[in-house]
């Protein structure tokens, strides 16, 4: 089932979001504008702004008040992707050259900062100090998560708890914040805000676990299969194989001696992970997170937005890219 089918309740909002995003990053600096325009037009799932709109439907919904929050959330996400591509030296994202491949790493840093600054200005102009505090608190924790991932690269001794803490900061927090901003922006009750925030956190955890799986299984994920392995990122399927595979010692030896890697090493690692049951285990964990997200929604009154959030959770755990 296509992702767009889940957005029927907010079809107008999602259709107009693209122009709002382009308008928000427009600048007289042509070299920045050209590359940012290309980046925005390359699209994406837009799950995070969709969460803003859908969560706002549980309060006093006002499209004109909620849209700046949805735009800000997607700009924050875009800024993190620009910076990620610099760190990873990625040439492509969503089938188009990355910012750093187009204008160089140094200029790309400024481009990412520019987009983040635009997001913060939108939030300042919105005028809700509590929302601004939530976003600023989320941002430094996302940075901590990214830093931890870099620190833990090729570390075969991390635990499941270490992994969960990392993806919570790196990915899930932005999902939770998207739901929180939508609900807060619509003046929903604290209880509703809390339920939606917890839903977003669980959905975000599931999203990252599925990303881990797709890194090993999908050629349609927007990056080469096994890219995380090449970067030394210890994903959940790999972590499971370290502990449960009959070949775990060999697997750990591979990660401890990068000088022995050759053109077939990544494929060998992927095969060991698959044979260990790492893919199936990770999928079960993603399904548990989705089930928990639905439990949070069960506390809310039924409406079309709730149905969309349930469908979105189901999509995340079944997506193929």
Q: Is residue 84 part of a domain?
A: yes
Residue 3 lies in a domain: no
Average pLDDT over residues 169-185: 96
Looking up tokens 């009154």, which residue turns up? 301
pLDDT band at 5 (very low <50, low <70, confident <90, very high): low
- Does 107 reside within a domain? yes
> Which pLDDT belongs to residue 4?
64
- Stretch 163-189: mean pLDDT, rounded? 96
User: 93 by DSSP, 3-state: which?
Assistant: strand
Q: What is the pLDDT of residues 53-81, one digit of tens each?
A: 999 999 999 999 999 999 999 999 999 99
pLDDT at 3 over 70: no
6 assigned to some structural domain: no
CATH at 279: 1.10.600.10
Contact 57, 304 (CB under 8 A): yes
Residue 223 lies inside a defined structural domain of this protein: yes
Q: Is 80 exposed, middle or buried (0-12, 13-18, 19+ CB in 10 A)?
A: buried
Structural domain boundaries, residue 306:
17-318
What pLDDT band is residue 307 in, cutting at 50, 70 and 90? very high
- Average confidence (pLDDT) over 2-19: 84
- Confidence check: pLDDT of 219 > 80: no
**Chain centre to alpha carbon of residue 321:** 13
Name the domain count of the chain.
1
Q: What share of the chain is helix, strand, coil (3-state, %, to 5)?
A: 75, 0, 20
Q: Is residue 1 one of the residues assigned to a domain? A: no
What does the pLDDT look like over 78-108, one tens digit per residue?
999 999 889 888 888 877 888 899 889 999 9
Q: What mean pLDDT comes out for the span 108-114?
A: 94
φ, ψ (nearest 5 deg) of residue 24: -70, -25
pTM assigned to the model: 0.94
The residue among 191, 273, 185 whose CA lies nearest residue 226 is 273
* Residue 256 pLDDT: 82
Q: How confident is the model at residue 260 (pLDDT cuts 50, 70, 90)?
A: confident
- pLDDT (0 to 100) of residue 128: 85
DSSP state of 300: S
Whether residue 15 has pLDDT greater than 80 = yes
Rounded distance between C-alpha atoms, residue 76 and residue 48, angstroms = 10
Per the domain annotation, does 27 fall within a domain? Answer: yes
Q: Which structure tokens are listed for 55?
A: 């969560």
Q: Is the pLDDT of residue 217 over 80?
A: yes
Residue at token pair 């881990």:
212
pLDDT at 45 over 70: yes
Confidence label for 220 from pLDDT (cuts 50, 70 and 90): low
Examine residue 165 and state whether it is found in any structural domain, yes or no: yes
């Amino acid at each position: 089932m296509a992702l767009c089918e889940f957005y029927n309740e907010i079809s107008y909002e999602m259709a107009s979001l693209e122009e709002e995003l382009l308008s928000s990053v427009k600048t007289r600096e042509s070299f920045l504008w050209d590359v940012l325009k290309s980046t925005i037009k390359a699209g994406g799932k837009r799950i995070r702004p969709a969460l803003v709109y859908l969560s706002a439907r549980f309060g006093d919904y006002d499209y004109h008040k909620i849209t700046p929050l949805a735009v800000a959330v997607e700009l924050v996400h875009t800024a993190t992707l620009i910076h990620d591509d610099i760190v990873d030296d990625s040439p492509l994202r969503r089938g188009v050259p990355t910012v750093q491949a187009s204008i160089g790493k140094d200029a790309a840093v400024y481009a990412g900062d520019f987009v983040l600054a635009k997001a913060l200005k939108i939030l300042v102009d919105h005028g809700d100090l509590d929302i601004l505090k939530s976003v600023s608190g989320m941002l430094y924790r996302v940075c901590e998560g990214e830093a931890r991932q870099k620190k833990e690269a090729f570390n075969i001794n991390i635990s499941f708890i270490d992994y969960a803490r990392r993806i919570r900061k790196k990915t899930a927090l932005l999902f939770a914040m998207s739901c929180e901003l939508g609900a807060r922006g619509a003046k929903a009750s604290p209880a509703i805000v809390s339920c939606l925030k917890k839903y977003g956190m669980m959905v975000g955890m599931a999203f990252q676990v599925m990303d881990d799986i797709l890194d090993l299984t999908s050629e349609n994920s927007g990056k080469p299969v096994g890219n995380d392995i090449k970067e030394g990122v210890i994903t959940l399927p790999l972590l499971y194989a370290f502990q449960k595979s009959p070949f775990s010692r060999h697997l750990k030896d591979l990660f401890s001696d990068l000088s022995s890697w050759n053109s077939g090493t990544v494929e060998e690692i992927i095969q060991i992970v698959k044979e260990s049951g790492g893919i199936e285990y990770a999928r079960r964990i993603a399904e548990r997170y989705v089930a928990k997200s639905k439990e949070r929604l069960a506390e809310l009154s039924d409406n079309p937005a709730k149905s969309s959030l349930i469908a979105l959770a189901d999509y995340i755990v079944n997506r193929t890219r």
